[in-house]
Amino acid sequence: MHMFKVALILFAKIASCSGQLDIAPEFENRGATVVDRYNSPVSVKKDRVAKINSLNVAADNETLSISLYNNLANGVFAYIVGKDVNNRVIILQPDGTFYHPDANGATVSVKVTEDIRLPLGAPGSTFSIKIPTYISSARIYFATGELQFFIVSINGETTLIEPSAVNPTDPSATINWGFIELTHLPSGVWANISCVDFVGLPLGISLSTIAGTVQSTAGLTANAVASICDDLYEQATKDGQPWNKLCQTNDTGTAIRVLAPINYIRSSPNAFSSYWTEYINQVWLFYTSTPLIIDTQLSRGKVQCKVLGDVLTCVGDNRGYVKPTAFDIFSCNTGPFEILAPDNDIHRAIVPRLCAAFNRSTFLINGGDVQPSLSSDCYYSTSPTNHFSRIVHEYESDGKGYAFPYDDVNPSGEDQSGTVSARDPLVLAIRVGGV
C-alpha cells in the first residue's frame, strides 16, 4: 500500500474517532497428539457471529460449481477437503468424485497417497469443477506446490491432518499456500476468506446466484505478505513488541506467511504478555462507574454491564467476566472468552462483542460505551491494538476478510468478515494470486 493511501486511512480514523472517553490516571505432532480443527475448541468456525441464515427455501441442486482463476503462476494446485452429511472426511478428486479416506484404526498418522490434487491451468486460465454433494467444515486449499495430508484414527473415527502454518517441521512448511472456508448445505452456501490463523497465498471469492445476484470479497493484494511484513517490522520498532516475529520465510528468505499473534504466542509464551495490561486496567476502571452497553443484536437487544468487584457483570448473563490476558484477547476463546455448554444466549452474544472491542481497541473512544456501535473507521485507531488485524485489513482490497475470530462483529449494515452466502448458489468463483 502506498504511503499516501496509508496516510489517508490514518487521517480519516483520527478525524472521526479522535475523542477518547475521560478515564482515570503446541504444535501439531505427527503420530502424537493431533489437533482436529473440525471439533477443536480453537476452530475458527466455533461460535462465530455470522452463520448461515435459517433459510426457508432449500438449494435447487446439491452440486456446487466451483471456478478457480489462476492469477499467480504455473504449478498451482487446489485441494478440497471437508465432511459429508454423515460427518465423514471427504476429499474431492480430479474426476469430480469424493475420496473417503479410512485410517483403518491407525493411531500413527498415515500419508494420503491418493491423487487429490486439482491442477490449475496456466496463469490467466480458469479451472472448473463441481462439488457433487453437500459438504461442511470444508476448506479449499491452494498452493504453489504439493501439499501433504495425513489421516489418523481418533476414538475410532478417521481424522484428517491438514497442513499446519505454525509447525516448522510440517512437510508443507516451506510451501506458499492458503485456503478459503466453505459450507454447502440444503439451506445454502457460506464461504469466506480467513486470516484468523495466518496470512498466506492471496485469494478472492465471488458467489453468483441463480437469481442473478453476485457477492464478492476481493481479498489481499498480490504482494500483501511482503507489504504486511514490512509494516509489522515498522510497528515493532515503534512499540518494542515482536510483531516482526510473525513473519515466516521460505528457504530463499522470501516472506511467504504471516502468523496471527496467538499462533506466535503458542510457541513463545512470554510474547505480548504485558501488551494489553494497562489498557485492560483502564477499561475495568472506567466501567466501574460507567455502564457498558452491549448490543446483542438479538431479541434481547441492548444489555447493560458494569464492573463489580473486579468482575464485569451483565444483566441477564449467567456468569461474569474477569480481566483477560493477551492470550485471551488474541485467541477470543480462552479465559473469560471461553464459551461453555451451560452458557445462555446472552453470554454467547456478549463474548464475541467484548473480544472484538478489545482487538479493535474501541472501549475508550467516543461511542465506545456501546458495543458494537462504531464504524470500521474507528477500529484500531488507538494503541494498544491488534496491529496484525489492522495491517491485514489495510492490504485487503476492499477491507473485508476475517483477521481475528470475531471479525464479523459489526454494527448492523457493516461487514468486515467478507462472508458470502446464498440459498440459491450458482457458481463460487475463487481468484488465486491477489488483485
Q: Which of 118, 107, 113, 139 is nearest to 38 (CA)?
A: 139
Would you write out the chain's pLDDT as a tens digit for each of its 435 residues?
A: 443 333 334 434 444 465 555 443 322 333 333 434 443 323 333 334 433 333 434 445 799 999 999 999 999 999 999 999 999 999 999 999 999 999 999 999 999 999 999 999 999 999 999 999 999 999 999 999 999 999 999 999 999 999 999 999 999 999 999 999 999 999 999 999 989 999 999 999 999 999 999 999 999 999 999 999 999 999 999 999 999 999 999 989 999 999 999 999 999 999 999 999 999 999 999 999 999 999 999 999 999 999 999 999 999 999 999 999 999 999 999 999 999 999 999 999 999 999 999 999 999 999 999 999 999 999 999 999 999 999 999 999 998 889 999 999 999 767 778 899 999 999 999 999 988
Residues 6+ apart with CB under 8 A from 257: 165, 176, 198, 199, 200, 225, 247, 248
Cell readout for 73 is 503462476
| Cβ-contact 297, 350 below 8 angstroms | no
Q: Which of 292, 286, 318, 276 is nearest to 371 (CA)?
A: 292
- Amino acid of residue 29: N
| Cβ-contact 294, 349 below 8 angstroms | yes
- Is 408 in a helix, a strand, or coil? coil
The CB density around residue 156, as the number of other CB atoms within 10 Å, is 7
- Amino acid of residue 261: P
Taking phi first (over 0 means left), then psi (-120 to 50 degrees means alpha), and beta for anything else, what does residue 59 get?
A: beta
Residue with cell 482436529: 36
Which contiguous run of DSSP H or E holds residue 230? helix 224-239
Domains of the chain from N-terminus onward: 50-271+387-435 (2.60.110.10), 276-383 (3.30.920.50)
**Contacts made by residues 338-341, CB under 8 angstroms, sequence distance 24+:** 338/41, 339/46, 339/47
Cell readout for 6 is 496509508
- Is 215 in a helix, a strand, or coil? strand
- Is 238 in a helix, a strand, or coil? helix
- Is 357 in a helix, a strand, or coil? helix
98 DSSP β-pair partners? 92
| Cβ-contact 203, 220 below 8 angstroms | yes
d(CA 48, CA 258): 23
200 DSSP β-pair partners? none
The CB density around residue 422, as the number of other CB atoms within 10 Å, is 23
pLDDT digits (tens, 9 = 90+) for 114-153: 999 999 999 999 999 999 999 999 999 999 999 999 999 9
Q: Which of 358, 348, 345 is nearest to 284 (CA)?
A: 358
Cell readout for 394 is 489495510
Q: Which residues of 166-178 are buried (b: 16+ CB within 10 A; e: fewer)?
A: bbeebbbbbbbbb
Biggest alpha carbon distance in the chain?
66
